[in-house]
């Protein structure tokens, strides 16, 4: 007896698709465990389970996998088969607590064995037996057949039928009036197109403008593929928290769910800095009373939107949450997947669509499981290691208490992070219950204990130490000179200086500078390459109490002139000769040394140097269009150097490699800090990142033991084959540390520090250190976002808009405080006042600097960098104000307006969007030249695009991120080009999506693709090429170009005929190849072949090997055998092109002789092929498409005469060699579809 297959319900489709993306995951398994004590009648329990399985079709359902052209189907196994598996167990202690570990292990191991949905029951039952009077019943149900309600029904019925079997009751079970496959069919009939359209329109309006993703405080970034691994945190909330929730429910006349949704949304908006939250909420889905006794997947998901207004009261928030929840609940009938398809939501295998946080209040009763003659069964909750979403919060009222079951994705979150969320939700409920009219913005998420903890993270315990003086940089240098006078201090090429020589040379230059009129507080510009003169000059400037102003020789003259004038430079020390630089007097170190000079007076380092003494001025990119100078005090520099020496523990035995430009303040860590530690500095010549130069420097003796620089520099060097030796320590900073590079360093066992800090806080203020030896931390922490903790005397705060410390995981702005904070901006008192307010938290007289960086504390006290709050970015370690570039670019002739952003793909280059001032777009080369006149190389965009308008977000704000993606739709008009594999992929796209406008970069999901079509696509390619693909890869490679690159260049499966589309209908289309012998081109026909027809393409090794010399008779035999190899269930339609078309009549005739029914033959411009003897006439019709340059000399009527049925010959404008090109098929394809549409069905 053949089985009857029926479609899955929409809910089953969703779960089945999840199984394809993350096969074997346990997130959609529901276990139920009961401890049975007493004289159990095992046979009666087996009978009860069998009876329950026999009553419910869903428990005997099997899923037929999808094929390349059809969706998965379900059918019901008539026989029940064995259901209860008895497992013998043993243990000395039979108490429940003693048995719990063994029970949990068994359940988890059983759940880890993937369900074969095509071949086994979706419910497994086990009886664990320790003794005749001690058993445990384990039921594990797959969500595709058992939702929570259904599992409750099953457990209740097992108890009922057991008690009937042992004669303890004659109670009748509830009647099952609707079986689940019937519900699935009813659901599809009930949800007709009009109803679906109406519901989709509601959800479109309800969710319009809602964020696609809620940014949560993760511990690790999203993996490339979400495998749904996770765990569950079970917590009983304090009584006062549950009391607060109930009080608010009563006050606002709303449900417990609505109160919890409002409170959770407040916390999520603080975490994400978004004022709009979408929560996933499960609903029972049993809209009719006759469904209540049916076992199956009725549960549906709805999206509940909560919009949080910080200025509103919490009571108002409850009211708006109530309205929004009721709206969503009233439209719960449309299945979740139908909502996604109706809204054309782009799917991804990394993030769940529409929402990432689920909230529910459990309302299913925990019914007693009472078996006659046994003690009341104990219910053991066993949690499986799965996570359907980022966070799944299930609140379970238990008597007078409230339990929270919090399931979370362990790939992203640590337990400490989710515990902090629970604390924050509790604080919201407690405060709101006390004052329901409290402004949402005034709700404080932090408990008193957490506030103390966050302040400890910030480093407030350094306040007393910061009040004590730190040795001046020259004091420490003098100490090194006195202790190690003849030790090597610096080396540049073949030139070297000992500490004594460096000190003497610096003193000589100081005296000469004084003779030139330089005194304390004067600004001396230093425009020297890395070398010994640079070190001596800088130290000489400081010996006078003057100010060091580094000037990069590679910067444009206009920028140099601005810097010298803005800083008020008195003199320029340069290696390019005397005279002037931008109007400022210039002199060389050689001329200074040759100048007779008396010893100039020196300020006393410990008495004359104070916070008012400026050490240096560093110029950074500025948002006004010009760079701005940051003045750093000698005391701040001294504090940094002291802290850095203590942190990295550099010794006189060490050698530090200096390779960063002196105009970048991180260079001080490379050359100044080592000198103060009495270590040696090896200075690279200009062109520091040249791999050959770096390799030579690393290979010299004594060996380098410390290197500095940005992660980009050392990652690039690594990629070029240059690596530091084992034991070398890396002082990295200036930008985030890529996780891949951190893993590489950890793998080599290298010690490294990754520092964070802006120029305004003297080089660096916080640090993340590698874990020497164990390296456990790198497996737990995302390196790119983690900037560690304050070091030395620094303090780091994360403050909200009201300048209150933010709790753990709540983002705010990073402020830096302590003795390293700079004096301010040169000549900009108003900007200084706004960016450097007093530190009112520590109240120690120091200022704090507001960085403009967004950050948060994690639960372990690590500072996480979250990006910029303004337009400042870091590119390859350089600080760039995008507005400075935009303003310069907008002044270029021919430019009306401009916007600049960072390439989101690479993160290491700038992209400029330009609106022309007129009809002609400006030449990118001219734009680069214009910018190069005033900006350094690292501030010049690499890519220029022409815009018609500035890219805007949905809220009307400038959205620089959209510069990284095309501002127009994907170029669907790009229908040509690409490899044969790419053209084949485009053909499959066209067929599955039912669209002709598929370009190389058309996005599968944006053009209507969805999860089931993605599965079908993967199966198509597996059938064609025999390759292993995962459904998730369609999400990662959603365009023909990218999917073809992923596919590579596989050959068709080595079969006589390759399946191009499989389906269960008829007739079967078999395509006969052209001269190439391949089936590539026939993929382009798929959109024009009716969907119910399976399609196969014949492969001809003879044609591939011999081409035109192949014997026609041999080809005929090969083609016939290939067709016979196809699993044909009914009539056949033959389609041929060129040689294949010419042989099609003979193939059809031979197949008819062998018993095949030939429905129709389609020929695309038959070529001339000389077969011996006349071709028999065929009992079917013909459609012949002729090329504009016909390949055959035979009259079209000759071909028509070979067929007994109706024939038609259609002349097209397509050349013979392009008959099956997509653009050519636009003419013939619709006629083909019309002709074949009357066959089969």
CATH number at residue 132: 3.30.559.10
* CA quadruple 422, 426, 429, 432: dihedral sign: negative
For residues 113 and 12, membership in a common domain is answered with yes
**What is the rounded distance in angstroms from the CA atom of residue 705 to the CA atom of residue 656?**
6
Instruction: Using alpha carbons, select from 1096, 1205, 1116 the residue that is nearest to residue 1169.
Output: 1116
In-domain check, residue 667: no
Contact yes or no for 73/113 (Cβ under 8 A): no
Omega of the bond leading into 702 within 30 degrees of 0 (cis): yes
Question: What is the per-residue pLDDT for 1006?
Answer: 64
The closest alpha carbon to 411, from 122, 845, 25, belongs to: 25
Confidence check: pLDDT of 745 > 70: yes
Burial class for 877, CB neighbours closer than 10 Å (0-12, 13-18, 19+): buried
Average pLDDT estimate for 1103-1110? 87
Q: What CATH number did the domain enclosing 303 receive?
A: 3.30.559.30
From residue 694, alpha-carbon distances to 167, 718, 751 in Å are: 88, 11, 20
What is the distance between the alpha carbons of residues 273 and 275, in angstroms, rounded to a whole number? 7
**798 and 808 in contact (C-beta within 8 Å)?**
no
- Would residue 488 count as lying in a domain? no
Q: Strand pairing partners for 1068?
A: 1132
Q: Which of 419-428, 454-463, 1056-1065 has the lowest mean pLDDT?
A: 1056-1065
Residues 164 and 230 both lie in one domain = no
The DSSP code for 805 is B
Structure-block tokens of residue 953: 């977000």
Name the token pair of 199.
Answer: 């519901």
The per-residue pLDDT for 381 is 86
- Write down the pLDDT at residue 778: 35
- The residue whose two tokens read 């269009």 is 625
Q: Cα separation of 784 and 736, whole Å?
A: 5
Question: Contact 500/485 with Cβ under 8 angstroms?
Answer: yes
Q: How far apart are CA 1088 and CA 994, in angstroms?
A: 9
Whether 1228 is in a domain gets the answer yes
183: exposed, middle or buried (Cβ count in 10 Å: 0-12, 13-18, 19+): buried
Helix (H) or strand (E) holding 479, with range, is: helix 473-483
User: Which residue bears the tokens 């030449």?
Assistant: 923
Kind and range of the H or E run holding 718? helix 711-719
Work out how many domains the chain is built from and give that number. Answer: 5
718 and 747 Cβ atoms separated by less than 8 Å: no
For the stretch 356-372, what's the b/e string if a residue is b when 16 or more beta carbons lie within 10 angstroms of its beta carbon? bbbbbbeeeeeeebebb
Same domain, 943 and 1026: no
How far is it, in rounded angstroms, from Cα 675 to Cα 1229? Answer: 78
Whole-angstrom Cα distance, residue 645 to residue 516?
34
Q: What is the pLDDT of residue 977?
A: 56
d(CA 69, CA 65): 11
Clarify whether residues 959 and 1036 are in a common domain: no
Residues 282 and 419 in one domain: yes
Handedness of CA 1076, 1079, 1081, 1082 (dihedral sign): positive
Convert the pLDDT of each residue in 185-238 to its tens digit.
898 888 888 888 999 999 999 999 898 888 888 887 777 677 778 888 999 999
Please say which residue of 150, 185, 220 terminates a domain. 185
CATH of the domain at 894: 3.30.300.30
Of the residues 1051, 1076, 1097, the one at which a domain ends: 1051
Give residue 1153's domain range.
1054-1236
∠338-344-347 over CA atoms, to 5°? 90
Cα angle for residues 287, 293, 295 (degrees, 5° grid): 95
State pLDDT tens for residues 991-1043: 888 777 788 888 786 676 766 677 677 777 777 777 777 776 777 788 888 88
Residue 1126: CB atoms within 10 A of its CB come to 19
Q: Which whole number is the average pLDDT over 1122-1132? A: 88
pLDDT at 1115: 93
Q: Is the pLDDT of residue 534 over 60?
A: yes
Residue pair 948/915 in contact by the 8 Å Cβ criterion: yes
The answer to whether residues 1228 and 1093 belong to one domain is yes
Comparing 493-507, 999-1013, 1054-1068, 1103-1117, which segment has the lowest mean pLDDT? Answer: 999-1013
Q: For residue 725, is pLDDT > 90?
A: yes
* Residue 580 neighbours by CB under 8 Å, 6+ apart: 572, 586
Could you give the angle at which helices 239-252 and 314-329 cross, rounded to 10 degrees? 80
Clarify whether residues 1193 and 1095 are in a common domain: yes
Helix, strand, coil shares of the chain as percentages rounded to 5?
A: 35, 20, 40
pLDDT above 90: residue 785 = no
CB-CB contact of 1168 with 1143 (8 Å): no
Contact 279, 425 (CB under 8 A): no
- The two three-digit tokens of residue 187, written as one number: 């659901």
Residue 493 maps to a domain: no
Q: How confident is the model over 1084-1092, as a mean pLDDT? A: 86
**Which tokens hold the place of 1170?**
């000389």
Instruction: Using alpha carbons, select from 1129, 1130, 1122 the residue that is nearest to residue 1150.
Output: 1122
CATH number at residue 1025: 1.10.1200.10
Strand boundaries in 1091-1206, DSSP class E: 1095-1098, 1132-1137, 1158-1164, 1181-1186
139 shares a domain with 151 = yes
Q: 776: pLDDT confidence band, cut at 50, 70 and 90?
A: very low
Mean pLDDT: which of 345-359, 374-388, 526-540 is highest?
526-540
Residue 636 in domain: no
Stretch among 734-738, 807-811, 1041-1045 having the lowest mean pLDDT: 734-738
CB count, 10 Å around CB of 593?
15
Q: pLDDT-derived band of residue 680, with 50, 70 and 90 as boundaries?
A: very high
Instruction: Kindly state whether residues 337 and 390 are assigned to the same domain.
Output: yes
Which two three-digit tokens encode residue 1212?
A: 């097209």
933 part of a folded domain:
yes
Indicate which CATH number applies to the domain containing 1140.
3.40.50.1820
Classify the phi-psi angles of 1233: left when phi > 0, otherwise alpha if psi is within -120 to 50, otherwise beta: alpha
User: How sure is the predictor about 41, in pLDDT bands with cuts at 50, 70 and 90?
Assistant: very high
pLDDT of residue 832: 93
CB-based contact 1069:1089 (threshold 8 Å): yes
Helix (H) or strand (E) holding 849: strand 848-857
Other C-beta atoms closer than 10 Å to the C-beta of 136 total: 25
Q: Is the peptide bond before 1067 cis (omega within 30 degrees of 0)?
A: yes
Rounded to an integer, the average pLDDT of 958-969 is: 55
DSSP 271-286: HHS-SEEEEEEEE---
Mean of pLDDT values over 1069-1089? 88
Structure confidence by residue, pLDDT tens digits, 571-597: 999 988 767 788 899 999 999 998 887
User: Quick check: 1241 pLDDT over 80?
Assistant: no
User: How far is Cα of residue 559 from the mean position of the Cα atoms in its chain?
Assistant: 39
**The pLDDT of residue 771:** 66
Residues 297 and 361 occupy one common structural domain:
yes
Q: Which of 1159, 1127, 1126, 1130 is nearest to 1144 (CA)?
A: 1159
Q: Which of 724, 711, 730 is nearest to 772 (CA)?
A: 730
> pLDDT tens across 148-162, in order?
899 999 999 999 999
- Check if the beta carbon of residue 391 is closer than 8 Å to that of residue 422: no
Listed in sequence order, the residues at least 6 apart from 1113 whose beta carbon sits closer than 8 Å to its beta carbon are 1171, 1172
Residue 777 has pLDDT above 70, yes or no: no
Strands 706-709 and 655-658: parallel
pLDDT band at 967 (very low <50, low <70, confident <90, very high): very low
Matching residue, tokens 């069998």? 50
With respect to residue 1034, please indicate whether it lies within any of the assigned structural domains: yes
Query: What's the pTM?
Result: 0.70
Model confidence at 612, pLDDT cuts 50, 70, 90, reads confident
Please list the residues that pair with 407 across neighbouring strands. 232, 392
Give 118-122 contacts, CB < 8 A, sequence gap 24+.
Answer: 118/62, 118/63, 118/64, 118/65, 119/62, 120/62, 121/53, 121/59, 121/60, 121/77, 121/81, 121/83, 122/58, 122/59, 122/61, 122/146
Between 1016 and 481, residue with greater pLDDT = 481
Q: Which of 1051, 1075, 1092 is the last residue of a domain?
A: 1051
Residue 1106: strand, helix, or coil: helix
Q: Other CB atoms closer than 10 Å to residue 332's CB: what's the count? A: 18
> Contact 477/671 with Cβ under 8 angstroms?
no
| 687 SS3 class | coil
Residues 239, 263, single domain; the answer is yes
Task: Kindly report the average pLDDT of the chain as a whole number.
Answer: 87
Residue 196 token pair: 């679906």
Query: What is the distance between the alpha carbons of residues 686 and 193, in angstroms, rounded to a whole number?
Result: 70
Residue 1063 confidence (pLDDT) above 70: no
489 found inside a domain: no
Judge whether 135 and 41 are in contact, CB under 8 Å.
no
**pLDDT exceeding 90 applies to what percent of the chain?**
51
Report residue 955's pLDDT band, with 50, 70 and 90 as the boundaries. very low
Give the pLDDT confidence of 252-290 residue by residue, as tens digits. 999 999 999 999 999 999 998 888 999 999 998 887 888
Residue 95 makes CB contacts below 8 A (sequence gap 6+) with none
For residues 1202 and 1103, membership in a common domain is answered with yes
Q: Give the residue from 1133, 1170, 1171, 1172 showing the smallest Cα distance to 1151.
A: 1133
- CA-wise closest residue to 981 among 1070, 1045, 1039, 1026: 1045
Determine the average pLDDT of the residues in 325-337: 91
Per the DSSP assignment, residues forming a β-bridge with 128 are 87, 136
């Amino acid at each position: 007896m053949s089985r009857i297959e029926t479609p899955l319900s929409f809910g089953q489709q969703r779960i089945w698709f999840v199984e394809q993306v993350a096969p074997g995951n346990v997130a959609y398994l529901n276990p139920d465990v009961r401890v049975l004590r007493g004289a159990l009648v095992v046979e009666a329990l087996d009978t009860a389970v069998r009876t329950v399985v026999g009553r419910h079709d869903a428990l005997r359902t099997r899923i037929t996998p999808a094929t390349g052209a059809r969706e998965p189907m379900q059918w019901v196994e008539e026989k029940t088969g064995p259901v209860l598996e008895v497992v013998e167990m043993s243990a000395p202690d039979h108490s429940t607590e003693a048995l719990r570990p063994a029970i949990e292990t068994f359940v988890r191991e059983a759940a880890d064995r993937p369900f074969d949905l095509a071949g086994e029951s979706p419910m497994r039952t086990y009886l664990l037996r320790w003794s005749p009077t001690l058993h445990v019943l384990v039921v594990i149900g797959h969500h595709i057949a058992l939702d929570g309600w259904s599992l409750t029904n099953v457990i209740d019925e097992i108890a009922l039928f057991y008690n009937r079997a042992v004669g303890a009751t004659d109670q009748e079970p509830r009647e099952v009036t609707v079986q689940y496959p019937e519900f699935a069919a009813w659901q599809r009939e009930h949800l007709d197109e009009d109803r679906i359209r109406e519901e989709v329109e509601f959800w479109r309006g309800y969710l319009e403008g809602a964020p696609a993703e809620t940014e949560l405080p993760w511990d690790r970034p999203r993996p490339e593929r979400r495998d749904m691994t996770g765990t569950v945190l079970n917590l009983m909330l304090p009584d006062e928290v549950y009391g607060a929730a109930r009080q608010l429910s009563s006050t606002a006349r709303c449900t417990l769910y609505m109160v919890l949704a409002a409170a959770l949304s407040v916390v999520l908006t603080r975490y994400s800095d978004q004022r709009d939250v979408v929560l996933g909420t499960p609903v029972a889905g049993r809209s009719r009373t006759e469904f209540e006794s049916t076992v199956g997947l009725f549960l549906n998901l709805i999206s509940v939107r909560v919009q949080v207004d910080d200025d509103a009261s919490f009571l108002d928030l409850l009211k708006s949450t109530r309205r929004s929840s009721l709206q969503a609940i009233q439209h719960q009938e449309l299945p979740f997947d139908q909502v996604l398809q109706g809204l054309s939501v782009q799917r991804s295998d990394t993030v769940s669509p529409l929402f990432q946080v689920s909230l529910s209040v459990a309302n299913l009763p925990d019914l007693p499981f009472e078996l006659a003659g046994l003690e009341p069964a104990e219910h053991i909750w066993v949690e499986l290691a799965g996570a359907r979403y980022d966070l799944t919060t299930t609140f379970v009222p238990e008597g007078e208490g409230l339990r929270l079951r919090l399931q979370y994705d362990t790939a992203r979150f640590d337990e400490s992070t989710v515990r902090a969320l629970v604390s924050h939700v509790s604080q919201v409920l407690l405060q709101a219950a006390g004052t329901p009219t409290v402004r949402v913005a005034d709700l404080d998420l932090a408990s008193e204990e957490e506030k103390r903890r966050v302040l400890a993270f910030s480093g407030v315990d350094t306040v007393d130490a910061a009040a004590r003086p730190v040795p001046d940089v020259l004091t420490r240098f003098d100490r090194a000179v006195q202790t190690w006078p003849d030790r090597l201090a610096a080396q540049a090429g073949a030139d070297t200086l000992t500490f004594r020589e460096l000190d003497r040379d610096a003193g000589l230059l100081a005296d000469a500078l004084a003779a030139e009129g330089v005194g304390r507080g004067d600004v001396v510009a230093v425009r020297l390459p890395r070398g010994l003169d640079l070190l001596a000059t800088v130290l000489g400037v400081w010996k006078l109490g003057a100010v060091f102003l580094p000037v990069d020789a590679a910067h444009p003259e206009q920028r140099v002139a601005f810097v010298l004038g803005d800083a008020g430079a008195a003199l320029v020390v340069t290696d390019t000769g005397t005279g002037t630089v931008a109007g400022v007097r210039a002199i060389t170190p050689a001329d200074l040394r040759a100048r007779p000079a008396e010893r100039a007076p020196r300020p006393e380092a410990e008495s004359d140097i104070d916070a008012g003494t400026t050490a240096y001025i560093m110029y950074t990119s500025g948002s006004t269009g010009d760079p701005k100078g940051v003045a750093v005090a000698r005391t701040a520099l001294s504090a940094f150097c002291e802290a850095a020496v203590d942190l990295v523990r550099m010794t006189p035995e060490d050698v530090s490699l200096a390779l960063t430009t002196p105009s970048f303040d991180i260079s001080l860590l490379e050359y100044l800090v080592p000198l103060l530690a009495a270590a040696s500095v090896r200075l690279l010549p200009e062109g520091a990142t040249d791999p050959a130069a770096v390799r030579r420097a690393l290979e010299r003796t004594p060996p380098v033991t410390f290197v500095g620089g940005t992660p980009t520099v050392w990652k690039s060097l690594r990629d070029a084959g240059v690596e530091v030796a084992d034991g070398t320590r890396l002082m990295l900073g200036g930008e985030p540390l890529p996780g891949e590079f951190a893993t590489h360093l950890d793998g080599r066992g290298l010690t490294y520090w990754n520092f964070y800090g802006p120029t305004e806080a003297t080089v660096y203020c916080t640090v993340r250190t590698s874990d020497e030896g164990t390296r456990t931390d790198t497996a737990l922490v995302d390196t790119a976002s983690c900037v560690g903790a304050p070091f030395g005397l620094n303090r780091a705060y994360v403050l909200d808009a009201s300048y209150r410390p933010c709790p753990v995981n709540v983002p705010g702005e990073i402020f830096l405080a302590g003795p390293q904070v700079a004096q301010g901006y040169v000549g900009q008192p108003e900007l200084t006042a706004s960016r450097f307010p007093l530190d009112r938290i520590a109240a120690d007289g120091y200022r704090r600097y507001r960085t403009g960086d967004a950050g948060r504390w994690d639960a372990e006290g690590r500072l996480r960098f979250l990006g910029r709050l303004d337009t400042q970015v870091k590119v390859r370690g350089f600080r760039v104000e995008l507005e400075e570039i935009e303003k310069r670019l907008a002044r270029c002739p021919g430019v009306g307006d401009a916007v600049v952003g960072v390439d989101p793909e690479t993160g290491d280059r700038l992209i400029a969007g330009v609106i022309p001032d007129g009809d002609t777009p400006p030449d990118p080369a001219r734009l680069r030249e214009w910018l190069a006149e005033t900006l350094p190389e690292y501030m010049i965009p690499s890519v220029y695009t022409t815009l018609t308008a500035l890219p805007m977000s949905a809220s009307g704000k400038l959205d620089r991120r959209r510069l990284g993606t095309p501002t127009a739709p994907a170029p669907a008009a790009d229908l040509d080009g690409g490899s044969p594999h790419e053209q084949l992929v485009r053909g499959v796209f066209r067929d599955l999506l039912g669209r002709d406008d598929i370009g190389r970069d058309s996005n599968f999901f944006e053009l209507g693709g969805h999860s089931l079509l993605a599965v079908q696509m993967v199966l198509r390619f597996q059938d064609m090429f025999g390759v292993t693909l995962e459904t998730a890869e369609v999400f990662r490679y959603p365009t023909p170009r990218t999917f073809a690159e992923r596919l590579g260049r596989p050959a068709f499966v080595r079969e006589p005929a390759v399946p191009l589309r499989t389906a269960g209908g008829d007739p079967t289309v078999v395509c006969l190849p052209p001269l190439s012998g391949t089936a590539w081109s026939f993929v382009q026909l798929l959109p024009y072949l009716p969907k119910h027809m399976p399609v196969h393409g014949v492969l001809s090794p003879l044609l591939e090997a011999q081409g035109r010399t192949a014997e026609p008779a041999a080809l005929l035999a090969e083609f016939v055998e290939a067709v016979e190899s196809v699993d044909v269930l009914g009539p056949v339609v033959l389609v041929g092109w060129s040689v294949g078309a010419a042989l099609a009549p003979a193939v059809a005739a031979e197949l008819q002789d062998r018993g095949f029914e030939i429905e129709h033959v389609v020929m695309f411009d038959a070529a001339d092929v000389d077969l011996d003897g006349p071709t028999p006439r065929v009992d079917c019709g013909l459609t012949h498409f002729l090329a504009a340059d016909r390949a055959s000399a035979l009259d079209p009527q000759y071909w028509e005469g070979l067929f007994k049925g109706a024939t038609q010959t259609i002349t097209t404008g397509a050349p013979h060699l392009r008959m099956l090109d997509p653009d050519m098929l636009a003419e013939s394809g619709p006629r083909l579809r019309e002709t074949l549409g009357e066959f089969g069905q």
